[in-house]
Amino acid sequence: MRTLPGPLDPVDARLTRWMAHYGIVTLRVTLGMVFFWFGILKFFPGLSPAQTLALRTIDVLTLGLMPAGVGLALLATLECAIGVGLISGKFMRLTLLLLAFQMVGAASPLLLFPGEVFTQFPYAPTLEGQYIIKNLVLVSAGIVIGATVRGGFLTANSFGAQQEA
């Protein structure tokens, strides 16, 4: 792997070590903040831009058996619990399982209501569709965090760079 010229190489190496050391924790905490924030919004009617779509999705997924208010409160609680778990770093396996469960539900409008989440299926999402599709980044963040639950970590040097040295 090529290094930066002259005096920039030590700076680059220091920044890379810093990112490897703090990157996962930063990712976990900020992902938790997003979940907690979006969860809190769902406790207050009209504040979440996804509220209407979330209510319709909950209605379909529960076959109409769950009252809208109860479903939204449960979703808000779930998202807040995921947020607290990620921020605190406690019960990470359970937290990531809940995150995966929530993401499946959050993605389901793509299949349940394609006419509402795309103006031109499948390449031109509506604002609601964009809101859902951005969850791919959240899922990816969860996967990266999950890779560290059993002791995995990032390293500042790749295997190839270590062999070159």
Q: Token match 């996967």: residue?
A: 143
Distance separating alpha carbons of residues 42 and 75, to the nearest angstrom: 8
Residue 2: is its pLDDT beyond 70? no
Three-class SS of residue 31?
A: helix
pLDDT the model gives residue 121: 87
Residue 80: is its pLDDT beyond 90? yes
φ, ψ for residue 119, nearest 5 deg? -85, -35
pLDDT the model gives residue 3: 65
Per-residue pLDDT band at 4 (split at 50, 70, 90): low
Distance separating alpha carbons of residues 59 and 86, to the nearest angstrom: 28
pLDDT the model gives residue 163: 52
Rg (C-alpha) for the chain, rounded Å, is 20
pLDDT the model gives residue 52: 92
> Which residues is 145 bridged to in the sheet?
none
Q: Give Cβ neighbours of residue 146 (< 8 Å, ≥ 6 apart).
A: 92, 96
What's the token pair of residue 18? 């810093």
| pTM for the whole structure | 0.88
Q: What mean pLDDT is predicted for residues 11-17?
A: 88
pLDDT tens-digit readout, 100-110:
999 999 999 99
pLDDT tens-digit readout, 120-140:
988 899 999 999 999 999 999
Distance separating alpha carbons of residues 117 and 123, to the nearest angstrom: 10
- Closest residue by Cα to residue 148 from 23, 60, 31: 23
pLDDT tens-digit readout, 40-62:
999 998 998 889 999 999 999 99
Distance separating alpha carbons of residues 104 and 139, to the nearest angstrom: 10
In whole angstroms, how far apart are CA 5 and each of 11, 86, 155?
Answer: 11, 39, 22
Per-residue pLDDT band at 155 (split at 50, 70, 90): confident
* 76 and 40 Cβ atoms separated by less than 8 Å: yes
pLDDT tens-digit readout, 84-99:
999 999 999 999 999 9
